């Protein structure tokens, strides 16, 4: 399975909480891989960010065995 580009990664940018897709919400809950959306999440992968007032909230996310745990990998 090819690794998706970094732009597809939930961690690649800060998200508008009102514009999240169901897939993105599951990724932010750590239920799906932060990059490819696989259900076989195996490792912690830092944080994804959602806008919150003037700042942003970090949500711990996870990735599957096929995806790099660092956002730029
Ligand atoms: Zn993955």
User: CB under 8 Å to 7, separation ≥6 — which residues?
Assistant: none
What's the CA-to-centroid distance between 54 and ligand 1, angstroms?
Answer: 31
Distance 66 CA to ligand 1 centre (A): 5
Note the pLDDT of residue 2. Answer: 59
Q: What is the distance in A from the centroid of ligand 1 to the CA of 53?
A: 30
Buried b / exposed e along 28-67 (16+ C-beta atoms within 10 A): bebebbbbbbbeebeeebebbbbeeeeeeeebebbbbeeb
The domain limits of the chain are 6-64
Q: Which residues of the chain have pLDDT under 70?
A: 1-5, 72-73
Note residues around ion ligand 1 (Cβ under 5 angstroms). Answer: 33, 35-36, 38, 64, 67
Which pLDDT value is given to residue 33? Answer: 97
Query: What DSSP string describes 32-69?
Result: S-TTT--S-EEEEEEEEEEEETTEEEEEEEEEETTS-S
pTM for this predicted structure: 0.87
pLDDT of residue 4: 63
């Amino acid at each position: 399975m090819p690794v998706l580009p970094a732009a597809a990664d939930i961690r690649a940018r800060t998200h508008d909480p009102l514009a999240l897709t169901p897939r993105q919400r599951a990724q932010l809950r750590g239920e799906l891989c932060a990059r490819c959306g696989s259900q076989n999440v195996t490792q912690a992968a830092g944080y994804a960010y959602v806008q919150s007032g003037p700042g942003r909230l970090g949500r711990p996310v996870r990735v599957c065995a096929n995806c790099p745990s660092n956002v730029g990998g």
